[in-house]
Structure 1
Amino acid sequence: MQWNMDRRLNSTLHLEEYTKFITKSTLVATQEDIPRIKQRITSYSPSEVSKNLIQLKHQACRRWRKTRDDVDKHQYYKSKVLLTNSLGNDRRNKFNKLMSSLCQKKMYPDAVWRTVRKFHNKRIKQTYPNVMKYNNTTAKPDKEKADLFAVYFQNKVYFEAPDSLPFHDQVTRRTACVRKEMTTNSNKTKWTQINVKEVKYRLKQLRNSATGPDNIHNRCLKNYSKLLVQHLTTLYNEILNYGYIPDAWKQAKIILLLKPTKDKQQPSSYRPISLLNYLGKLLEKIVRQRLMSELNRRNILPEHQAGFRPGKVQYTIS
């Protein structure tokens, strides 16, 4: 798949086409280069001592089955006991190492969940009840359950409440003033274009989290090529120039997490998590970093503002 880098993006339709091209090209490269091999999951990796004892046990077993001698039988059972003790030591060492990782001054949520999954050795698969209920409506097939969740979220979670508080009115008035100044002021502030170095840095900072609707994993993006970075840099700059977000980046894959001790049959018992396309989130991270740098440079944010600010947590607030 090829794209003419000299082609000018003169409309939002061209931006949509360019976004689809980058997404499809990344997916094709992923499918061609990543082998479809199911990795075998083991509870732990035995030590070298245990591996040697496993070989000795197999040798002793084969020898005893061949000779049926009592001495060989005794040697076989002895090797089994030694192997059992060695594997027990391996498990204890693994557990101690896991516990020591918890004794840190600062732990992040993803690190906590990784620790929990180490105990289970797999991700906990959530199950849903056979019947879901909402507003005297009962849903049994999966399609009906999905529609029931959609109705609930639309009515209770994502509905647009009227902004009638004084704070909302103040923000609305201030936003209108800013927009008026932007349209009347001829000396517009120039936006520095996003460069390749900036895109590379943000790609390396991506976490290995779940994919969005485009099914492009962050591990694939972090193994970027020079051509991919060039395409993303061009796309992001054109998006900012037009002030237009591609439709695909507005879609989300929603997963549902059951709240503790809640009724599984009620939609209100689930917390929705939206998984977005990371090509769009990558641009958000770049813009956010620029915005935060400008806010900090101008000292606009108040000192008591701690949320979503690096180096500030709740207990540091005076």
Structure 2
Amino acid sequence: MNSKLHKTIAAVCVATAVSTGFAAPNANSEAKLHKYSTTIEKERPKLNEETKRLIAACRRDPSEANLAALRKQIEINYDKVVARKKAKLEELKRTAKHNFKVQEMQEIVDEMLKNREYRIEQNMRRFTDPRMRPGSREAKDGFLPVLGVATNVSIAYTPVTNEEYAKFIKETGAKAPKDWRNGIMPANKARHPVVNVSYHDAAAYCKWLTQKDGKAVYRLPSEEEWEYAAGHMPKDADFNCGENEGTTPVDAYAKTLSACGAVDMWGNCWEWTSTPVTGEKNVMAVKGGSWNSRRTDCRTEQKGIGRNASHGADDVTFRVIREK
């Protein structure tokens, strides 16, 4: 098997860690755990050789037999992880001094059981995407392919920054975010994610990019696209959650990569999606958690959290999808 392709497969599998039983070596052994949660697990199961072999076999020959074998192996990996989570839950029920620890782990177990088939299908689509090749997780032009969705879809390496949004304001005369005093970008925050922008502000920014490009279409990601881009959040991942009283630069935690290779997808700021929250009027789903979130709310699989599309907030930003 080509060594570069082997590394690419391993990298993608790392980012989907717990959902399929894969994980990377701990990139930051001193990553601080969220101050409100002590249930973070440190075990890091590595991609087993059989799964590597089956992924390579599907790339060579995507026959029904090979695809079925890969799916079966992903199911085995997934169920092993669920078993570990259940064991951890039972341990916490016996030993935890605070019930919220039990509740956090119960939420994780319940979600993994409820969405088993969906999460397995996500990983099947990622691992069999024809764009999964050496270099697919390198943002050569600021965008990365979102493996598992339409092949013309890519996502920005970082959320939109203040300095990027300032160009939009200058060219269009759009209203500046409310934290920009007298319409001036906050000092020393050029590389921080822009905040206090509504869903409609974010959509207007995307429309402006589309007009400037003239070829590609720019828009906000759907909730599903965002989840494919992020992959499962590694349990010991280092990001801005519970450690700072506000935002940090979008590349402050550049070693923490999502499934597609993007950064800053967990913590720092919630990100707008184009998916409405079911049963809510004018409320759009946000993903990824923020600097003031519970760590469990930052999990990729967390659903049902939304914000009024007409309002901005100091913990909500956005990231752009490109179609071409």
Using structure 1 for the length normalisation, give the TM-score.
0.24
Q: Which has the larger radius of gyration?
A: 1
Using structure 2 for the length normalisation, give the TM-score.
0.24
